[in-house]
Amino acid sequence: MISFHTSRFGTLEVEEDKVINFPYGLVGFANLKRYILMDHRNTPIKWLQAIDHPDVAFLVVEPKTILAEYPIRIDSATRHSLQIEDDDDIAVLLIIRVEEDKIIPNIHGPLVINSRLKIGAQLVLYAENN
Amino acid sequence: MLVLTRKSDEALRIGNDIKITIVEIKGNQVRLGIEAPAHIAIYREEIYEKVKAENRLSANISLEVFRKIKEIYDKR
């Protein structure tokens, strides 16, 4: 068990194997490499809470819950660094925020997680039209 | 910042395992060829900055805003 403090949820205790490691952190948050994913009843929205910073937590959702389609190609470098052997192990999550009652998913920076090994990375996708 | 001049087809080496080749220069556009190890992530700066800015805006959502987002989400 590891125990850590969070500003929203107080002190949390989680099993070590629930920790998701982002070896390179998230973009702009390179130093925060350990997160936990917190599910909620009655909503597909989850919290991705940084273990090593009490204030840093992102709201994340599976793309299909917010977008009609979200085709994503996971490049070989990412597959390699996340040690993905089986596509069934891949989980994709989008960070969301709200602006004037509109939910904005960060479509350029999806989180890709090897759910078996609990290793994640934030991709930076190039879109021709954006 | 180190600034140096290269011509088309010339290249740069960064350390032992990164090579950047000037593939083509046309008007105000330069095409670059980048050879780097697989673990080196290569991003277009403006997209990287956009994702970073989004992350910063998204990192400190309060429980109150979460409840609001949840409400909007559930109504959809």
- Provide the pLDDT confidence category of residue A127 given band limits of 50, 70 and 90: low
ipTM metric: 0.90
Across residues A49-65, what is the average pLDDT?
Answer: 96
C-alpha–C-alpha distance, residues A121 and A14, integer Å: 21
pLDDT at A42: 84
Across residues A28-42, what is the average pLDDT?
Answer: 93
The B-side interface with A (CB below 8 A) comprises: 38-41, 43-44, 47-48, 50-63, 65-66, 68-70, 72-74
The torsion angle over the Cα atoms of residues A105, A38, A84 and B18, rounded to 10 degrees, is 60
Residue in chain A lying closest to B51 (CA): A109
| The two structure tokens encoding residue A2 | 């590891």
Q: Model-level pTM?
A: 0.88
Label residues A42-76 b or e (16+ Cβ within 10 Å = b).
ebebbbbbbbebbebbbbbbebeebeeeeeeebee
Question: pLDDT tens for residues B17-34?
Answer: 999 999 999 999 999 999
Classify residue A113 as exposed, middle or buried by CB count within 10 Å of its CB (0-12, 13-18, 19+). Answer: buried
Residue A128 has pLDDT above 60, yes or no: no
- Name the residue among B38, B47, B35 with its Cα closest to residue A124: B47
C-alpha–C-alpha distance, residues A66 and A75, integer Å: 23
More confident residue, B40 or A124: A124
Assign B52 to helix, strand or coil: helix
> Chain B residues with CB inside 8 Å of A65's CB?
73
What's phi and psi for B15, nearest 5 deg? Answer: 65, -155
Residue A36 burial (CB count, 10 A): 21
- Angle (CA) A111-B75-A100 rounded to 5° is 70
Q: Cβ contacts of residue A100 below 8 Å, gap of 6+?
A: none
Residue B76 has pLDDT above 90, yes or no: no
Question: pLDDT tens for residues A9-34?
Answer: 999 999 999 999 999 999 999 999 99
> Chain A residues with CB inside 8 Å of B61's CB?
57-59, 97-98
pLDDT at A130: 36
pLDDT at A107: 94
Across residues A99-116, what is the average pLDDT?
Answer: 94
Residue type (1 letter), B28: N
**Can you give the length of chain A in residues?**
130
